[in-house]
Structure 1
Amino acid sequence: MFKALYSDSITLHLITDDNLSQVYDLFQGFPDSKPMLEEMFQHYIPKYEKGRQVNYGFYSMLADQLAGMSLLSIDSWQERSGSTGADVFEHMRGRGVTPRSKPHLFYVAFELLELNRVATGCLISNQSSKRSIEKTVGFQFEGISRESGINEQGEFEDEYIYSILRRDWLNLYDKSQVQIIA
């Protein structure tokens, strides 16, 4: 496998069972460390189903600064589909970390795991995430999923849904721009 992926001054480091304690230490000392660590343990640690990994969590570095986390989840191996997500430290927001991390995730999804489709979404009230998704080359708006998410007030909320297909990625991205760090 690989330890990290690099492109466009962003390095995504794979979170593994072996490095989890070091990653935990790395995330200490920020005003929003507690909610970020809660997200990490809920969504970003490795998960397996039927002996296959279905959750690939990464911590992201913008140059030498810890920026947040990115996620690739396998929704169905049979249908070769996955989804992405991200959480960024508050002080690192607005720097394009999430859209600039997508080529890394797309490389893993389409080149290494041979998926056909990767989706993402955001709550309708989350305009900053919507803007970030729309900056990501290749994501196409598919529609609105009614009351499929829960907002910070604990209420159901509609979500915008976007996706990219492997054939889109092949036409839009240069896979040689992503460097694998073993």
Structure 2
Amino acid sequence: MFKALQSDALTLVLINDDNLPGITPLFQGHPDTDEMLAELHENYLPQHDRQGRRTNFGFYTLLHGELAGMSLLSVDSWEELQGSTGADVFWHMRGRGVTPGSKPHLFYLAFELLGLHRVATGCLVSNVASRRSIEKTPGFVFEGISRESGRNERGEFEDERLYGILRREWAARYDPAQIRVLE
């Protein structure tokens, strides 16, 4: 298994059980440390299906060597070859292109390394920053609205904007040589 995916500015370091104890100290010293650590433990840890196949590929993300946040590729269905992405970025690192910049790494993992056919993402309609980030990512196509499919910060049900990219769209847009696999 690889340790990280790297491009010029961004490195996504795979979170595994063996490196998890060393990750927590990296997150210390920020106003949103507690929130980010809660996200780490809730959404970014390795998970496997009943056949032992990994389904959750969580990464901590470095921008020019500085911890910026976390990125995620989940395999939603190995049978249907479908995945989804997500990200959480520290407050002080927002607006620097971390989330859209991490998508080529996640697409490379999904399509080149894992052989998936489709990757999806989404955001609540009120989350304008996430919407802008997704729409800055080359290849994601707006596919529609899922009505009242998520809860916002106030606990209210809210519609979600859905986006997806197919393997052939990735192959037409992205150069796999842009991503280096670090072992």
Structure 1 and Structure 2 fold alike (TM over 0.5): yes
The residue number in structure 1 matching 2:46 is 46
How far apart are residue 64 of structure 1 and its match? 1.7
SS in 1 for 2:111: helix
SS in 2 for 1:36: helix
Q: TM-score, normalised by structure 2?
A: 0.98
Asked if residue 175 in structure 1 is aligned to residue 161 in structure 2, the reply is no
1:48-63 equivalences under 5 Å are 48-50=48-50, 51-63=52-64
Deviations 1:155-179 (A, max 9, x none): 1110000000000000000000000
Q: Distance in 1 between matches of 2:49 and 2:174?
A: 30
The residue number in structure 1 matching 2:37 is 37
Q: TM-score, normalised by structure 1?
A: 0.99
Runs of 4 or more, structure 1, over 2 Å off, are none
Q: What one-letter code is carried by the residue in structure 2 that aligns with 1:43?
A: N
Q: What one-letter code is carried by the residue in structure 2 that aligns with 1:52?
A: R
Equivalenced residue count is: 182
Q: What one-letter code is carried by the residue in structure 2 that aligns with 1:155?
A: E
The residue number in structure 1 matching 2:161 is 160
The residue number in structure 1 matching 2:12 is 12
Asked if residue 96 in structure 1 is aligned to residue 94 in structure 2, the reply is no
Asked if residue 143 in structure 1 is aligned to residue 138 in structure 2, the reply is no
Q: Distance in 2 between matches of 1:132 and 1:8?
A: 19
Deviations 1:118-139 (A, max 9, x none): 0000000000000000000000
Q: Distance in 1 between matches of 2:71 and 2:149?
A: 21
Q: What one-letter code is carried by the residue in structure 2 that aligns with 1:96?
A: G
How far apart are residue 8 of structure 1 and its match? 3.5
SS in 1 for 2:34: helix
1:75-154 equivalences under 5 Å are 75-154=76-155
Q: Distance in 1 between matches of 2:141 and 2:7?
A: 22
In the alignment, structure 1 segments of 5+ residues that lack a partner are none
Q: What one-letter code is carried by the residue in structure 2 that aligns with 1:125?
A: S
Deviations 1:45-103 (A, max 9, x none): 00011111100000000002100000000110000000000000000000000001000
Identical positions, percent = 65
Contact persistence 1:69–1:87 (CA under 8 A):
yes
SS in 1 for 2:123: strand
Q: What one-letter code is carried by the residue in structure 2 that aligns with 1:137?
A: P
The residue number in structure 1 matching 2:28 is 28
In the alignment, structure 2 segments of 5+ residues that lack a partner are none
